[in-house]
Structure 1
């Protein structure tokens, strides 16, 4: 069995944990290598596979919108099926952030980066997210992990966390001091010079510009119009038909997909009382059957993301295909499964008593 090399940060861990992490990583590498040996064409054409999946998912989104427009798909089916295609685009974005497709062709790489953002305008700029996500891997579960804390990881359950999962913009603006604090924690850790502090503040302020502002502006207009009709009655306003078409074809699918992803991700990651760089404590694995509806709209994120924390190299479809063998390795080596006590612990790992973020 191959034992993987320890990453630099893991050299500060207790020998038992560091050895266990290296053993898990080595096992996952071996599982992936065996799969690649059986399917060499997928490995040899990883760029083309990624591009093919990208085009199929976009065709799915556009096709759903067309079928809804001509009356073939009902509104609820359009929202759910489109959310599924968008969940695939999210996985592609994540792979692109790790430069898994067209690493040596920046034009095609950036075309794909823009495409996954354009059809998922509820998300931040993916070029901004790249730095946040790579930082997340370095500091997962600690105060400067802006990517996870921004989607409510570490926050106690209550009205604000619920609202934030349903609508990221409302979450930011209904608790602005929390938003300021978690951004400041990230910048304090990440910035090396005063100029970099200014740069990071600027790009974080503009991270939703322009697509996110457009998306949430239209979505809040849809909510406002719906409330207006509820109290005043059905009156057709100019442009309302186009607005409600966009709501079904792209706005609502993005909202429900984002909710499912953020609910799963923010609760399967631990926060606040874990040891820096200790991958054993960063995530758990969710396999419970009641999670299937959530996983259907975030591409099984809770079952496969822990694999990615131990070993970054595999694209999302490989992780999905080898997940059963990988999950056995994780379970046998002490990674937690279905630890739903995290809901009442505000995502604390539970090793020691720590204060919980309100």
Structure 2
């Protein structure tokens, strides 16, 4: 059986890449500085393709993300993501190491994270999930989000898929994917109409003004899911999910919450608040009793794991379908008899 380390993670500096301010290199071939290992494809989707790569000078391995920019909007989005990531230097945030632009394709070198998605890991048959382990994960997530906010940035797409484990054996997590992130200027009203429906905040769905508190609603939904295996605002369609978000109703009636502490439920209640200004900030979350004083009981959350597995399987199918659609748009012919 694999028990997650329920203590605060200890940073291992020898596996962390050095922080650096990244400037885009124009009309420079990434292969000048890196060996791109095309046989080691790490991921593929509508955004492009990710390969394993190795820096020639240091031997360090990275994830090379190639994105084809077909129009001005796609280019603007990638430039925004690079600009934001280049100033985020924190142990809980994936690190940007280099960036190249040849006019049609933008390639970014990212910190290599080998542990996979957090939720994929905790549903492993030999992995024992406890409430205390959930505290260890949520404390790190809040730490990372707090740092992002301290840099006047709102993530705007916090969801389970964007929380990765640094390694397959440790308990450290990393927040990824800043494609939707925005800089926040309190002197200007900021409104957006994008995000993942079941994890986005009511003010986004209603196209109202957003702020740092918008991310905090997403953390409430993630925490609810991590503890119970149930997505509080899941709907069969995006429209149904968004409708549930705007109503904001949820409860702790499911059997999965029978072994969950009152402190944990209070933590969730402090985040899933319709009035964004009344939600806990990331800093306040770290001072909440649940995160500050880890629960003493370490009962295995078996019911939660069973429900989480169903959630992850559903996400796998959605991801598979989206990948097929993306490949078809790129001109690939898919034999559905083999899918």
TM-score (norm 1): 0.25
Question: Greater helix percent: which structure?
Answer: 1
Larger-Rg structure: 1
- Does 1 or 2 have the higher relative contact order (CA < 8 Å, sep 6+)? 1
